């Protein structure tokens, strides 16, 4: 007896060997996909009829600061340095464990509602992030964000906290939670600290998550202080590898692109955040042409305002087309790969495709909507016409977290009410 059978779906497998399946069936058993095809002899405790809908792999958000939902709309329309140094960092200093827990629960709720099944997080009070993820039922690759600013004592403390978190939470939540090391950026972490963090990550056999060349200011700082950009600087300390997830990567030369591709670095493209902060445009099409693994992320809600990965897909595609003046660049299927297969690869999870033996991490998108009618090309609709609001069901690790638009793994109103209270309390502390 299987756990769940989903029938009558248009299945977007994202499996290059299988292609799409019209009027298909997926059988879920013990948190994995047992069968996929046009029919099954299996029976199950639960049957979901997905007629008129698309069944597809859940989306993977590869760069997020989940607790920052608490800052949604707090300090908009500012220069990045002003935004960070004069608003976000001082506000973050007032955050408590409970604020981060409330903000992360809100983020998990938003992601479940909009079809994200896994995310990579880098933030503070990360133990409460892990708690929220565990309770929500979603997947996450979590890292404590570390900054030392060249202070040896601070570096020692940051690495101690980061290492303790990695060891305590890796594999928690029935394996849904993995941990990473999160050195913030080459311009906020010293050379010696970055070397130590890389060595520790290799020793603990976990990945690294870092911001790289998000701004021209970072590029100029690195050149002025080290005589080279961040890409070459990190290459010089043997930091790069397939175990690295590099967020943003906006200010890249052709030589930088070659290095990232050569070392198999995973690049998280965050188009909306980069546009909102006027950071620039990541050369995604060049990176893909060079063979790099490029995936998608939303960044935090303070610099994006929502966690809708459908919106991120659409924006990524349109931004590359207009920036290259080539409408054929980054077609819909390629963007879907970035949000599913490539993201899963970056986080090292057996998801991103609907295939026998893979994790049962999938979403159902209701196509019976005015803005999704008529349907000529499913992939095109998902990227250019759909939104997170069209997701009717979210399944992670074989568990139904949302069905028929109702979230089952969380009390939605309670999550919202607590987040509102937390935000009001935080603003009161900031203003005092």
> CB of 102 within 8 A of CB of 417?
no
Residue 89 is predicted with a pLDDT of 85
State the CB neighbour count (10 A cutoff) for residue 187.
21
Domain residue ranges in the chain: 2-57+353-407, 59-347
Q: How far is CA 406 from the centre of its chain?
A: 23
* Residue found by looking up tokens 């935004």 in the block: 83
The rounded Cα 146 to chain-centroid distance in angstroms is 19
CATH second-level architecture of 2-57+353-407?
Answer: Roll (2.30)
Contact 210, 246 (CB under 8 A): yes
Nearest to 241 by CA among 266, 224, 219: 266
Residues of the chain short of pLDDT 50, as ranges, are none
Q: What angle do CA 115, 116, 120 make, to 5 degrees?
A: 175
Strands 293-296 and 207-212: unpaired
Q: 262: annotated binding-site residue? A: no
Task: Find the angle CA(410)-CA(5)-CA(36) to the nearest 5 degrees.
Answer: 120
Give the DSSP H or E segment for 276: helix 271-276
Tell me what pLDDT residue 406 has.
98
d(CA 45, CA 417): 34
Flag whether 232 is marked binding: no
Residue 65 labelled as part of a binding site? yes
Give whole-number Cα distances, 36 to 27, 43, 153, 314, in Å.
Answer: 6, 14, 54, 28
Please check if 308 is assigned to a binding site: no
Check: CATH 3.20.20.140 for 59-347? yes
| CA nearest neighbour of 208 among 224, 228, 189 | 189
Strands 2-11 and 21-29: antiparallel
Render pLDDT for 375-417 as a digit per residue (tens, 0 to 9): 999 999 999 999 999 999 999 999 999 999 999 999 999 999 9
Q: Are 270 and 299 in contact (CB under 8 A)?
A: yes
248 is in an annotated binding site: no
The whole-number pLDDT of residue 431 equals 80
Q: Please tell me the predicted confidence (pLDDT) of residue 78.
A: 85
d(CA 126, CA 110): 19
pLDDT of residue 84: 82
Q: What is the pLDDT of residue 82?
A: 85
Round the CA-based radius of gyration of the chain to a whole number and report it. Answer: 21
Largest CA distance in the chain: 66
Contacts of 282 (CB under 8 A, 6+ apart): 248, 249, 250, 252, 267, 269, 270, 271, 274
299 annotated to bind ligand: yes
Residue 7 contacts by C-beta under 8 Å, 6 or more apart in sequence? 25, 47, 48, 49, 50
**pLDDT of res. 432:** 74
* Annotated binding-site residue? 153: no
For strand 53-57 and strand 362-366, is the pairing parallel, antiparallel, or unpaired?
antiparallel
């Amino acid at each position: 007896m299987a756990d769940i059978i989903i029938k009558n779906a248009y299945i977007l497998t994202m499996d290059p060997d299988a292609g799409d399946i019209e009027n298909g069936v997926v059988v879920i058993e013990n948190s994995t996909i047992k069968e996929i095809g046009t029919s099954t002899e299996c029976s199950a405790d639960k049957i979901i009829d997905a007629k008129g809908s698309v069944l597809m792999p859940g989306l993977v958000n590869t760069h997020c600061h989940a607790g920052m939902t608490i800052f949604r709309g707090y300090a908009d329309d500012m220069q990045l340095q002003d935004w960070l140094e004069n608003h976000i960092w001082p506000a973050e200093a007032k955050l408590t464990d409970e604020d981060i827990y409330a903000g992360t629960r809100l983020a998990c709720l938003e992601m479940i509602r909009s079809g994200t099944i896994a995310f990579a997080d880098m933030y503070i009070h990360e133990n409460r992030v892990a708690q929220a993820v565990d309770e929500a039922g979603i997947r996450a690759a979590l890292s404590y964000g570390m900054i030392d600013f060249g202070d040896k004592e601070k570096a020692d403390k940051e690495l101690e906290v980061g290492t303790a978190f990695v060891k305590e939470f890796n594999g928690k939540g029935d394996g849904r939670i993995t941990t990473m090391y999160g050195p913030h950026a080459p311009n906020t972490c010293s050379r010696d600290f970055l070397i130590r963090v890389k060595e520790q990550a290799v020793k603990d056999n976990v990945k690294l998550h870092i911001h790289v060349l998000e701004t021209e200011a970072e590029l100029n700082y690195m050149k002025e202080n080290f005589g080279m950009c961040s890409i070459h600087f990190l290459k010089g300390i043997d930091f790069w590898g397939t175990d690295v997830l590099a967020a943003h990567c906006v200010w890249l030369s052709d030589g930088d692109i070659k290095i990232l591709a050569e070392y198999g670095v995973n690049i998280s493209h965050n188009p909306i955040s980069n546009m909102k902060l006027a950071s620039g445009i990541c050369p995604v099409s060049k990176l893909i042409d060079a063979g790099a693994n490029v995936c998608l992320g939303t960044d935090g809600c303070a610099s994006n305002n929502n966690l809708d990965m459908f919106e991120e897909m659409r924006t990524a595609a349109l931004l590359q087309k207009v920036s290259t003046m080539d409408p054929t660049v980054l077609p819909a299927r390629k963007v879907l790969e970035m949000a599913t297969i490539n993201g899963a690869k970056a986080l090292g999870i057996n998801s991103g495709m609907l295939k026998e033996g893979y994790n049962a991490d999938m979403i159902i998108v209701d196509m019976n909507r005015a803005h999704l009618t008529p349907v000529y090309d499913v992939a095109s609709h998902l990227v250019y016409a759909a939104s997170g609001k069209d997701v009717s069901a979210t399944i992670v690790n074989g568990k139904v977290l949302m069905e028929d638009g109702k979230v089952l793994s969380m009390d939605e109103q309670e999550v919202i009410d607590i987040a509102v209270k937390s935000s009001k309390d935080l603003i009161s502390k900031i203003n005092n």
